[in-house]
């Protein structure tokens, strides 16, 4: 019963439509009707600007962190125990589902990249830092947010095994599933990248 409550809370936290709320409350627009029509941080940067984009990014990352730390905060199991990690992984996936399919916004949300980063921060902070570094390098070199996200997602399960020598089967499966989910969410971006018409974002302009 306790696990069901955690899962429900993780979904409801992940489903908070940050970009939609800020777009409607502060600017009177539905972010899903502009730009890439995606309710995420990247489209918020593109449509509303840097300040609201940073706010959406920070909150969406925080959603992932809070979701996976729910059982630890409430004292479900000892820190880093297999029991806790397995539940955290499940809660992380549920939070991403909530972000992508938010009950508060007709199940039309974002792609889950920022929330996924929050999940990794909550479970494995050092790996999250490495993946973030990879994303930033690719983004700064190419100006493509989508390309940075895709490369970081591909790197996640590889680094988990090769660099951090993970021996938790559930974490391995989770890393592969999360990587595939991020890549699938960017299928339209991949098509635009291959066609040479993907949108760029200049971080310094």
pLDDT in tens, the chain (205 residues): 578 889 999 999 999 999 999 999 989 999 999 988 889 998 999 899 889 999 999 999 999 999 999 887 776 666 666 777 888 899 999 999 999 999 999 999 998 899 999 999 998 999 999 999 999 999 999 999 999 999 999 999 999 999 999 988 989 999 999 999 899 889 999 999 999 999 888 765 5
Instruction: Tell me the two tokens of residue 6.
Output: 């955690």
Q: What is the pLDDT of residue 195?
A: 93
**C-beta separation of 14 from 99 below 8 A:** yes
Query: According to the 3-state scheme, what is the secondary structure of 79-148?
Result: CCCHHHHHHHHHHHHHHHHHHHCCHHHCCCCCCCHHHHHHHHHHHCHHHHHHHHHHHHHHHHHHCCHHHH
Backbone φ, ψ for residue 183 (5° rounding):
-65, -45
Q: What is the pLDDT of residue 76?
A: 66
Instruction: Tell me the two tokens of residue 183.
Output: 């890549």
Q: What is the pLDDT of residue 1?
A: 58
Question: DSSP 3-state assignment of 199?
Answer: coil
CA dist., res. 86 & res. 74, Å (int): 16
Cα angle, residue 12 at apex, residues 15 and 66 outer, rounded to 5°? 90
| Model confidence pTM above 0.75 | yes
Buried/exposed code over 37-51 (b: 16+ C-beta within 10 A; e: otherwise):
ebbbbbbbbbbbeee
Q: What is the pLDDT of residue 86?
A: 85
Q: What is the pLDDT of residue 3?
A: 83
Q: What is the pLDDT of residue 36?
A: 84
Q: What is the pLDDT of residue 85?
A: 81
């Amino acid at each position: 019963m306790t696990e069901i409550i955690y899962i429900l809370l993780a979904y409801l936290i992940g489903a908070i439509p940050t970009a939609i709320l800020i777009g409607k409350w502060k600017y009177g627009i539905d972010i899903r009707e502009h730009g890439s029509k995606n309710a995420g941080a990247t489209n918020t940067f593109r449509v509303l600007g840097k300040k609201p984009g940073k706010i959406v990014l920070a909150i969406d990352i925080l959603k992932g962190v809070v979701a996976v730390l729910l059982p630890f905060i409430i004292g479900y199991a000892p820190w880093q125990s297999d029991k806790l990690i397995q539940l955290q992984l499940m809660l992380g996936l549920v939070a991403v589902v909530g972000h992508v399919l938010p009950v508060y916004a007709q199940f039309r949300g974002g792609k889950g990249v920022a929330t996924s980063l929050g999940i990794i921060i909550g479970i494995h902070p050092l790996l999250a830092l490495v993946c973030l570094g990879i994303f930033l390098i690719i983004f700064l070199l190419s100006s493509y947010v989508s390309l940075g996200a895709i490369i970081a997602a591909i790197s996640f399960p590889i680094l988990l095994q090769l660099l951090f020598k993970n021996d938790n089967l559930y974490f391995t499966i989770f890393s592969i599933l999360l990587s595939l989910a991020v890549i699938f969410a960017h299928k339209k971006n991949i098509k635009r990248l291959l066609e040479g018409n993907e949108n760029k974002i200049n971080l310094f302009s």
